[in-house]
Amino acid sequence: MNSPSQSLQRTEAIARRELLEVQEYDVRLDLASDEKTFGSVTTIRFRSRGGATFLDLKPVRVNAIRLNGSPVDPDLLERGRLPIQTLEGDNELVVDAVMPFRNDGEGLHRSTDPADGRSYVYGMMFMDAAPSVFACFDQPDLKAPYTLHVVAPEGWTVVANASGTNPEPGVWEFERTQPLSTYFVTLVAGPYFLLEDEHDGIPLGLGVRISMADALEADADELFTLTKQCFDEFHRLFGVRYPFGKYDQMFVPEFNAGAMENPGCVTFRDPLVFTSRVTRGIRIQRASTLAHEMAHQWFGNIVTPTWWDDLWLNESFAEYMGNRVTADVTEYDDAWVDNAYARRQWGLSADLRPSTHPVAGNGAVDASAALQDFDGISYAKGSSILKQLNATMGDDVFFAGVVDHFDRHRFGNATMHDLFESWERAGAGNLDAFTKNWLRTAGPDTIQLDRAAGVVRRTAPEEHPADRSHTFRYAVHADGAWSTRSLTLDGPETPLEVEGDAVVLDPYEDTWAVLLPDPETVTRLKTLLPSVDDPALRAGIWNNVRSAFHSAALSPSDVVDLVVASPPVESTEDSKRRLGAWLLGDVLPLAPAGSVERVHAAALSKLGSLPTGSEHQLAAFRMAISTATDPGELRGWLDVTPDGIDLDLDLRWRLLGRLATLGATDADELRSALEAEPTGESRVAHMRAAVSLPTAEAKALAWNVFTGRLDVANYELEAAGLGMWRGGQEHLTAPYADRYFEELPATVGVRSGWVLADATEFFFPVTSLTDETLERARLLAADQALDLSVRRRLGDAADDLARRLAVRRAYPTS
């Protein structure tokens, strides 16, 4: 029963949907009997045309299975599937099983808070995870109502999709839900700290583990205000009320995604409750995430894609609507600017890879393959294209079609074609050409100015030809000022008479394309960039620079010059999608000697020029920490931080992590820091710092995490991978580059799903910048026997490496 399960094929889903109509689930869970496992009794009532099918089930063991009153042999269960023979008409299936608590962020994830030893549980049923919690027909188009009954340890609180009661200690009974896909079902259980409010007849809740109660109380006014503002705007835009009763937002530990849109009980990663000071960029990220998940209550929850090839109907819409609503009705009116820094290059990089896929109709053959398409294409590119479509249609037609879509498929499933029929009924006209070129054809056009020829060129990717028309604004600097004009490209070349010394194409993200700055513009920007005070223009400039570097059309030296001229403190958070991580991970390793020191000096200079206590000052300080090469300077900051900046937990671990990378601390000091403040945040930061040490023991520790010899939760797994591969430590990590390719295939035996793919990415030998490493990566990624999600992430990592090698070949440093 414990062999790897099979991922549902689309053809199998179609056949099962034609056979079955699920009427209801009744799920009884006993979370109190054991810390490793829990009891799960599922009763499924369904109608069938009669015939053979299968149930999805991933237990530790089965106690009993009965179909229509007759026993079913549990030994028939193989690789997560139980074959059953249904009767024509009504059927009832009862499965009594013991299920595993997990620590990989899927199924029922159980963790212990190191701050106080309390345990917490949450459900994440996404993709193939639901059958490890309850028996089910696990596919998005077999929706049904759920009634949940939970026994939990006394003193725990249990929150689920529907409202519940606690009639006696440890017993929780929940109301019947609206029809839900299996992957929307959740519960959150433990000694959670809860806050309640109400808005427009909707009960609202916020929850977090007890050790973070003070932080939630500090953030609660903002979170409740954002929630109310977003609900009002979604109700105004759609004219369709939120239909799932109460709306709890639970911040849970060790959550893989940013959040999950479970109706009535949205789950978020709990670092979004801020225990240390953060910049505005991170607050915008939280606000837009909150709005994104709320948008899903309509796009995804009221109407759910029939299959994962239309996942853009969930994610592209939630991305577009989340950013739009955040910018329009909350205090974060600069949400689109932050989105440009945080998401644009994520999408463009994904769209340039060999693994690129269309926004719509991505060809997901099974659920495992579909999981890999939750990427920058389905989010950032899809959002950009919907933004264009909205600009073309106008709000009246756009939302009339959307509402028609909701009304026709309420609590059901639909496809892209259903939505486009609704838009055409609303007056959008024939959308076939738009669909073909923008949604069904992969890859971005490349657009660049040829000054000498006086033209702007549009080049479609060779592998994915398309004839796309682009209309966008461009910025011109002339006579000491910036001005904006408009340009339409409806052919391979369009004349453009350059009237200034710098030209920035599409800085305001009116279209989706790779925009490359011309050499003269790059040269002028080294002087002009410090005085650019339009936030959107600055973001557009940096995205053009990033695209050019990614395409080996701009040297690392030029990028460093721009950073030194005007440090991008708007976006130096260490999220892997923002400028800080790109600068540290991609640019500086390829830049000339002394570049790190130049960037550090620029960060210090910027730090001294910014208002005391400002968020930009904090961002500049973080940049200074990450580029520091003098341990004495870092030690000094551990003792005394700059005026306006307090040494909170986050900054302390940033300083210790940088000292670890430089070899200026040791395992004992790091362990003492963890013991002094043993929070979940500290545990993750400690892992990252401990494996960053330039010692054989540190790298062996990281490798034991990768191979599964040391079992850690998902956040620590990521930290171990990110901390292992540090520049300047190649004498220690070189042997592990070979071992990565030798031992990666076996990791399928120690992890699965989301974290299997993540570990492939986190532990890729990013500092091994050799053609041999690239060849090995491509060779292994082509191995058809390898897990599909591993192959996808490995292939993407190989593409990133190939691009870094292309930059080094184009711009060699001595």
Cα–Cα distance measured from residue 451 to residue 238, given in angstroms and rounded to the nearest whole number: 46
Burial class (CB in 10 A: 0-12, 13-18, 19+), 632: exposed
Six token digits for residue 790: 């591993």
Percent of the chain beyond pLDDT 90? 93
Asked if 183 contacts 125 with a C-beta cutoff of 8 angstroms, the reply is: yes
Asked if 373 contacts 357 with a C-beta cutoff of 8 angstroms, the reply is: yes
Residues 6+ apart with CB under 8 A from 640: none
Catalogue the active-site residues: 293
Give the model's pLDDT for residue 574: 58
Cα–Cα distance measured from residue 269 to residue 251, given in angstroms and rounded to the nearest whole number: 6
Q: Is the pLDDT of residue 176 over 90?
A: yes
Give the model's pLDDT for residue 152: 98
Token look-up 């949940």 returns 148
Three-state secondary-structure class, residue 396: helix
Give the model's pLDDT for residue 361: 77
Element (H, E) at 121: strand 119-124
The 3-class SS string of 546-572 reads HHHHHCCCCCHHHHHHHHHHCCCHHHC
Backbone dihedral angles phi then psi of residue 349, each to the nearest 5 degrees? -60, -45
Burial class (CB in 10 A: 0-12, 13-18, 19+), 541: buried
**Tens-digit pLDDT profile for residues 187-200:** 999 999 999 999 99
Asked if 752 contacts 126 with a C-beta cutoff of 8 angstroms, the reply is: no
Tell me the Cα Rg of the chain: 27
Provide the mean pLDDT of the chain. Answer: 95
Show the CA angle centred on residue 286, arms to residues 281 and 291, nearest 5°.
125
Give the model's pLDDT for residue 752: 86
CA-wise closest residue to 115 among 214, 205, 207, 186: 214
Q: Are strands 37-48 and 20-30 parallel, antiparallel or unpaired?
A: antiparallel
Model confidence at 370, pLDDT cuts 50, 70, 90, reads: confident
CA-wise closest residue to 537 among 580, 576, 483: 483
Six token digits for residue 516: 């490359």
Residues 6+ apart with CB under 8 A from 419: 313, 401, 402, 405
Q: Are strands 61-67 and 107-112 parallel, antiparallel or unpaired?
A: unpaired
Amino acid present at 774: L
Model confidence at 633, pLDDT cuts 50, 70, 90, reads: very high
**Tens-digit pLDDT profile for residues 783-808:** 999 998 999 999 999 999 999 999 99
Six token digits for residue 551: 């395409």
Average pLDDT, stretch 363-391? Answer: 87
Six token digits for residue 76: 């028939």
Instruction: Please provide the DSSP assignment of 269-305 as one string.
Output: EGGGS-SS---HHHHHHHHHHHHHHHHHTTBTTTEEE
Asked if 413 contacts 470 with a C-beta cutoff of 8 angstroms, the reply is: no
**Tens-digit pLDDT profile for residues 216-231:** 999 999 999 999 999 9
**Cα diameter, the chain:** 86
Phi-psi group of 454: left, alpha or beta (phi > 0 → left; psi -120 to 50 → alpha; rest → beta): left
The 3-class SS string of 685-742 reads HHHHHHHHCCCHHHHHHHHHHHHCCCCCCHHHHHHHHHHHCCCCCHHHHHHHHHHHHH
Residues 6+ apart with CB under 8 A from 582: 345, 546
Cα–Cα distance measured from residue 219 to residue 221, given in angstroms and rounded to the nearest whole number: 6
Six token digits for residue 558: 């030029």
**Tens-digit pLDDT profile for residues 309-354:** 898 999 999 999 999 999 999 999 999 999 999 999 999 999 999 9
Asked if 515 contacts 553 with a C-beta cutoff of 8 angstroms, the reply is: no
> Model's pTM, two decimal places?
0.96
H-state helical runs in 578-695: 579-582, 595-609, 615-627, 631-639, 649-661, 667-676, 680-692
Q: Is the pLDDT of residue 710 over 80?
A: yes
Q: Is the pLDDT of residue 1 over 70?
A: no
Asked if 760 contacts 737 with a C-beta cutoff of 8 angstroms, the reply is: no
Model confidence at 814, pLDDT cuts 50, 70, 90, reads: very low
Give the model's pLDDT for residue 777: 98
- Give domain 10-278's CATH architecture: Sandwich (2.60)
CA-wise closest residue to 210 among 226, 223, 196, 193: 193
Asked if 262 contacts 304 with a C-beta cutoff of 8 angstroms, the reply is: no
Six token digits for residue 111: 């963790």
Cα–Cα distance measured from residue 759 to residue 714, given in angstroms and rounded to the nearest whole number: 9
Amino acid present at 45: R
Q: Is the pLDDT of residue 63 over 60?
A: yes
CA-wise closest residue to 61 among 31, 81, 37: 37
Token look-up 């939970």 returns 150
**Tens-digit pLDDT profile for residues 389-447:** 999 999 999 999 999 999 999 999 999 999 999 999 999 999 999 999 999 999 999 99
Instruction: Please provide the DSSP assignment of 401-442 as one string.
Output: HHHHHHHHTTTEEE-HHHHHHHHHHTT----HHHIIIIISS-
Asked if 347 contacts 384 with a C-beta cutoff of 8 angstroms, the reply is: yes
- Which residues make beta-bridge pairs with 171? 151, 168
Write down the number of H helices and E strands in the chain: 27, 28
**Tens-digit pLDDT profile for residues 118-164:** 999 999 998 889 999 999 999 999 999 999 999 999 999 999 999 99
Residues present in the chain in total = 814
Asked if 86 contacts 95 with a C-beta cutoff of 8 angstroms, the reply is: no
Asked if 589 contacts 727 with a C-beta cutoff of 8 angstroms, the reply is: yes
Three-state secondary-structure class, residue 489: strand
CA-wise closest residue to 164 among 29, 255, 24, 269: 29
Q: Is the pLDDT of residue 3 over 60?
A: no
**Tens-digit pLDDT profile for residues 561-588:** 999 999 999 876 656 678 999 999 999 9
Q: Is the pLDDT of residue 680 over 70?
A: yes
Phi-psi group of 34: left, alpha or beta (phi > 0 → left; psi -120 to 50 → alpha; rest → beta): beta
Backbone dihedral angles phi then psi of residue 69, each to the nearest 5 degrees? 85, -10
Cα–Cα distance measured from residue 41 to residue 95, given in angstroms and rounded to the nearest whole number: 6
Cα–Cα distance measured from residue 7 to residue 500, given in angstroms and rounded to the nearest whole number: 57
Q: Is the pLDDT of residue 2 over 60?
A: no
